[in-house]
Amino acid sequence: MASLRDLGLSEYEARAYRALLRTGATTAKELSRASDVPMGRIYDVLNSLEQYHLIRSQAASRPKKYVAVEPDTALDRLLESKRQELDEKAQQYQEVVDELTTELDAAEPVHDQFWTAAVGDDETVDLLIERLSAADESLVMVAGTPSPQFDLGAVGDLVVEEIEAALERGVEVSVLMSPDMVDSLPESVGRRYMDQLSDHPQFHVRTAENLTGVFNLIDDVEVCIEVPNPLDPGQAFAMIDLKDPDFAADLRETFEPRWERAVPLAL
């Protein structure tokens, strides 16, 4: 059940405001009785409600009287106060993240071998997006067969967002696709990738014959390999992430001549 306490008021403050709505203009002593707020606390409570701009006082009267602001206005003011509080908190958390990012990024990366796998739609997407977001220097994306990451919908949108973010970080992004893969994409996909990304000097797309599989080479030390669903090749069944500098170097060595012979994509 909703409560004024959910919007930041204390129990005594909520009681006093509700009581003022019932009583109309009244004194602190009368309000203490009507709200069950102890007399020793009532003035602090009234001062707090005035700071929230939830009540108005009539200082000229003796004794001083108080009246509640209309509920719609009072709730709007409490909501705005909460929004400001959350904005300040969000800014504080952002400053903490910025400081920790600088501190943690200062550590030298360890390039030991490590692999992990994700199975299922959500888990596969999460792993893919996580690893794309880790790229610092280079990102090679190869697609010889249909893949959700090069298709319409939520996955494709997330991948485009990560490519844009990588380019903003200064990452060199190279995308190599088979002509059949390009032909299989809806026209709107080509527009999305090319219109938003093709003008960037560090974004390159080429096509090459006889490409198979789908993988991403990240910073020349890590490889994300998509495992297609055997019942539906257009859908990913699993994602394998392999962090192995030697394997990544071999893959880069194989990729380079294919890339050199590939044809720049023209839309």
Q: Which residue has the higher pLDDT, 251 or 237?
A: 251
Count up the domains in the chain and report the number. 2
Q: In CATH, what number is assigned to the domain containing residue 209?
A: 3.30.870.10
> Which residues span the domain enclosing 69?
1-105
Does residue 267 sit within a domain? no
- Residue 102: predicted pLDDT: 79
Closest CA to 253 of 171, 140, 150: 140
**126-155 residue pLDDT tens:** 898 999 999 999 999 998 876 666 554 566
Eight-state DSSP code of residue 148: G
**105-132 residue pLDDT tens:** 666 555 567 889 888 878 888 898 999 9
- Residue 111: predicted pLDDT: 58
Region of poorest pLDDT, from 15-19, 24-28, 99-103, 164-168 = 99-103
Which runs of E-coded beta strand occur in 92-221?
114-119, 138-143, 172-177, 203-207, 214-218
| Together in a domain, 209 and 95 | no
Closest CA to 70 of 83, 60, 55: 55
Cβ-Cβ contacts under 8 Å for 82 (sequence gap 6 or more): 7, 8
Distance of CA 78 to the CA centre of its chain: 27
The most confident of 33-47, 184-198, 213-227, by mean pLDDT: 33-47
**55-82 residue pLDDT tens:** 999 877 788 999 999 999 999 999 999 9
